[in-house]
Amino acid sequence: MKIFFIRHAEAIDHETDTVKTDEYRFITSHGRKVTRKVTKALKEEFSDLGRIFTSPLIRAVQTAEVIATVLKFEFDVEPVNELKNESPVSKIQKLLDKHSGLNSVALVGHEPQMSLLVRTFSGKKAFSKFSISSVCLIEIENVMTEGTFKWYFDSKKMELMK
């Protein structure tokens, strides 16, 4: 299974006149633009995408929807509590195991969880912080064993790093 780990797009600052809590932060127009650009650059990589799972927080859901729109994804984006930062890795392993028949899935979430997941699923202990709108691909045979780190696409540099 291919797993695309994706950090949400740039969001508004933590507090505005109308947004008082972190969970209601939404993505900016610049964040939408960068996410569209990254998704278009990686469009072929997503060719067999079976599901897009996202954290239920607004900025992650909006990022996932931008990705789905660019890809003309045929299914709905699926918000799951497993992608909240406080969720343990074991819950994400169960989610992936439940969908192990799929060729590939995308997980849209937050830092520091995305970096933790990359380190956990790939064994790449030196993996550092995800940039916003960036994507990492790991291929796994079994969700309970380490997979293979394939690449990281940095949205700031707009380049693929292996």
Query: Any residues with CB less than 8 A from the CB of 113 and at least 6 apart, and which?
Result: 83, 84, 85, 87
Buried b (16+ CB within 10 A) or exposed e, 95-105: bbeeeeeeebb
Q: List, for residues 58-74, the tens digit of each pLDDT value.
A: 999 999 999 999 999 99
Q: List, for residues 63-103, the tens digit of each pLDDT value.
A: 999 999 999 999 999 999 999 988 999 999 999 999 999 99
What are the structural domains, with CATH classification, of the chain? 2-161 (3.40.50.1240)
pTM reported for the whole predicted model: 0.95
Higher confidence at residue 19 or residue 151?
A: 151
